[in-house]
Structure 1
Amino acid sequence: MSFFSGIWIPLVTPFHAGRVDDSALGALVRRYADTGIAGFVALGTTGEPATLSGHEQDKVLSTVLAAADGLPVVVGVSGNDTAQVVARVEALNALPIAGVLASAPYYIKPSQAGVIGHIAAIADASRTPVVLYDIPARTGVELELPAILELAAHERIVAVKDCGGSPDKTRSLILDGRLEVLCGDDIHMFSTLCEGGSGAIAASAHLFPERFAAMARLLSEGRLVDARTIWHALVPFVRAAFAEPNPAPVKAALALQGLIRNELRPPLTAVSKGVESLLEKLVTPMQGTETSHAP
């Protein structure tokens, strides 16, 4: 099994009265460390890094690394100034991280040549593996298949978090075989894993992580029917977790479990009453049932 496989949790950043809640974040990480997940992503989209100061980002990463209990931690790096992102990666080289998750530059919508140059510069600067992050819905620019295949030739680019929205591109990347393909669009993780994807970076796995991990493990063992039973039970929650912009539904669900406060940084807002009610109906019956789901 490859290093970048299984279920990875892209951690939320808990807040308390507008400040980063280091205690709640550390408790979350420790809670997940023995659930069978493969690792963590700190400061990914779900962690609201765009609203965190540099000091806050450093505190978040320090808290996650201290609490991870040996599980690998990948760090999200994003921005539209290549020089600034490269400087950030160079600073991260001094830390015991497992890799960086690098997206295309956002807002300015560069050409594919510009995207390739941006990510290649990150990979050149990094001493740890690089996971490409294809998420055009947020960056405004797609990592097109030829660009990804060109970047796959770089020795430090080893995986891709696939939120590109194209099953054909996903399949092509799996068939190419040079990059580990991690599903980043949670509702498609089962089909991606069945086609040969290596795992998922799944915000919805904040809730019931044992079930997600068991599902991925069963698929890796070829136990399709058992894995499908778990997946079908998870689908309603996965859908609800993205009923409104991420990470608002996940934070609401975690707050319902008493694990964090239901706070986000503006301009993000808490979920509507309707989605909160839906999450309560889904989460409450499943609480306290996190036992093994492998027959």
Structure 2
Amino acid sequence: MPKVEIELGTLTNTCFIIMPFNPTFQSEYESIIRPAVEAVKLTPIRADEIYSRPRVTADIWKGLRSARIVIAELTGKNTNVFYEVGLAHSLGKPVIIITRNQDDVPFDLKALRYVYYDIDDPFWGENLKKALIRMLENVLKEKEYGTVFKGITVSGKIQYEKRKSPKKTKAEKPYYHLTGIWQGEMKVRQQTYNCNLHLVQTDGKLSGTMTISWTDEEELSVVQEAMVGEIMEDSLSLRGVSYSYLQQGASPGYNPDVFMLKVASDGNEISGPCDDTKGRKGTVKFWKRALKRNKAEHRKPI
């Protein structure tokens, strides 16, 4: 049987990202995958971006050949994704598989390392990012690559570039992952309101519920308010669309809130002016509650 020999040469400090060409996964890439890759001082390269260029297959092969690690999003059983995963395996590349549906992982790949994440879990973004960073760090400790196919030999002296932290340009827009539970307080005139905001981010849109409690005439009132909004670079808008009393106390009524908030540089604080439908103005500040949950990656440990 003839043998095929592949010369790898120098591995660049890149992580080749294989995922469907679908806007659904844009937020996942921007707020989770890219920050995780950059946290281990690698540069992410998206395979789906190459499909707009001529000589697609040659560019994909070049990107896979020089990448140190590959991350593959298998959700949706995309045929291009499976093709590129096969190329990566022929090169002996370490492939980290992620999916939001375990049935989308073929039987032949279930024995490999993969991360399952549940988008119904409000902490899925943070947990997936932490799992990816942990797996990337472990893979980077490995020094040997070997193909899984007989008859193909990966040879050549592999040289590693020195990893450097990626430099951000002024034109680069910050991207924050805001899904989670935020605690804070709202001050309107002389009244202070305690707030608990459960926020869900879907691409550039926001939705969630906010529980507001305050004491008036020594009686506790509690309101639950449905919120919607959108993200605009380093700021976001939120507005109440409906509310209901969990406990009315001495409150004669409640007016839905409108927030225009700035996001802190670390993404863990949002604050700004608030208003309501009656024109009463104030300020509000939220802090992201510390996460205590952490889903472990499934299958083969690293």
TM-score between both structures, scaled by the size of structure 2: 0.30
Give the number of the structure whose alpha-carbon radius of gyration is greater: 2
> Which structure's residues are more often helix, by fraction?
1
TM-score between both structures, scaled by the size of structure 1: 0.31
> Which structure's residues are more often strand, by fraction?
2
